[in-house]
Amino acid sequence: MSKILPGETDLYALTDARLSRGRSLRQVVEALLDQDIRIIQYREKHLPSRVMFEECQLMRELTTKHKACFIVDDHVDLAIASHADGVHIGQDDLPIEAVRKLVGSNMLIGVSTHAPEQALAAQKAGADYIGVGPIFATKTKEDVCAPVGLSYLEWVVANITIPFVAIGGIKEHNIAQVTRSGAKCCALVSEFVGADNIGEKVQRVRTAMHQSV
């Protein structure tokens, strides 16, 4: 297992088949891993369970080969069945304590948060890391809340002690704002999987991110 946390690496990628320009999951994930993306979350919400399980098995194989961290979004059962390194849950999913009973002590649990009280609750309940966002407006997730902006990110930097990843509408052109506000790890979806050339896009995003520090 590769239990890599946000902050131990700079970029966190998420899958989305609908935005991947017809490329297969293997093509997308291999392109990301080839650019030293160390955390990849499987986030697919419109596929049959069997297909998602098969894709998670593939993700496990590819990430193991590259010693990268494999996270499954929402589906605790898929995370367990595919031997993922972690599971990421939202505010409306099972409580952290219940998820921990299911996955045990060796699997990472990440939690999406949108406000200080949610971040504090996740930290108290034993989350391994939190998602902070959406920083900017995003259309890659249905039923997403309004952007929380950089002010919430800055609050997390000052008040939360567990690792966190900034997420939501982060692109090459605005990632510098996010890192200047204190984020050491940023999650991107459409900017990566929807790029003409995923490898080149990762390189440009990483350059923009680190030039801003």
Q: What is the 3-state secondary structure (H, E, C) of 156-184?
A: HHHHCCCCEEECCCCCCCCHHHHHHCCCC
Instruction: Give the pLDDT score at 145.
Output: 80
Number of domains the chain is built from: 1
Examine residue 2 and state whether it is found in any structural domain, yes or no. no
Catalytic residue among 60, 141, 201, 206: 141
Examine residue 17 and state whether it is found in any structural domain, yes or no. yes
Examine residue 103 and state whether it is found in any structural domain, yes or no. yes
Catalytic residue among 38, 43, 60, 201: 43
- The CATH code of the domain that includes 51 is 3.20.20.70
Output the pTM of the full model. Answer: 0.96
Catalytic status, residue 206 = no
- Interval 112-136: pLDDT, tens: 999 999 999 999 999 999 999 999 9
Q: What is the percentage of the chain residues whose pLDDT exceeds 90?
A: 92
Catalytic status, residue 112 = yes
- Interval 56-84: pLDDT, tens: 999 999 999 999 999 999 999 999 999 99
Q: What is the extent of the structural domain holding 156?
A: 11-211
Residue 112 is given by DSSP the state: E
Examine residue 109 and state whether it is found in any structural domain, yes or no. yes
Examine residue 5 and state whether it is found in any structural domain, yes or no. no
Examine residue 3 and state whether it is found in any structural domain, yes or no. no
Catalytic residue among 20, 82, 112, 181: 112
Query: How far, in Å, are 37, 130, 140, 141 from residue 22 at the CA level?
Result: 21, 31, 16, 19
Examine residue 6 and state whether it is found in any structural domain, yes or no. no
Examine residue 134 and state whether it is found in any structural domain, yes or no. yes
